[in-house]
Amino acid sequence: MSQKGVTIWFTGLPSSGKSTIARVLERRFRQAGLKVELLDGDVVRTNLSKGLGFSKEDRDANIKRIGFVCHLLTRNDVIAIAAAISPYREVRDYNRRLIGNFVEVYVKCSIDECEKRDVKGLFKKARAGEITGFTGVDDPYEEPLHPEVVCDTEKESADQSAEKVIRKLEELGYLSEASSHSSF
């Protein structure tokens, strides 16, 4: 079984399902014996980007840091999975250029559904004015214009979404034909 280094970049509104799908993929890849690392936005913020706030400049710096780590992993034939809101197209495109082997996955979900799923209560706090600059409320989210994969988490399960991503990786040649599809 062989693999090529690639970054799978999950982007979408808060609570859209990015981390959930990313964890399903990570588990499947590990079970298949592939080299994989997951960089989850919340985990990165507490470790790699501690001290950064939520201004546009700080968000851009955070996403570029994740992109740089993904670049290092990808060039060493690791599957890097990034799950971060990454609300601005310009910085996602910057990372695409830096990394090269880059598959953008748009985790599509309505704002209403994201608010229903919000276990941390952040949307509620943002609507009450307790949090400012919250993506989808008073800060924009710029949807990808040409993502390689769209996962509509209101219509498909995390497993179905992960399956779509795996099929795209096979189609693009990042996962070899030798790796049997059933091993995922």
Q: Confirm if 84 and 39 have CB atoms less than 8 A apart.
A: yes
Any catalytic annotation for residue 86?
Answer: yes
Q: Which of 15, 19, 86, 161 is catalytic?
A: 86
Measured between alpha carbons, how far is residue 41 from residues 114, 119, 147, 163 in Å?
Answer: 17, 16, 19, 22
DSSP secondary structure string for all residues of 71-110: HHHHHTT-EEEEE-----HHHHHHHHHHHSSEEEEEEE--
* 21 contact partners, CB below 8 Å, separation of at least 6: 10, 83, 105, 107, 151, 153, 158, 161, 162, 165
**Residues carrying an active site annotation:** 86
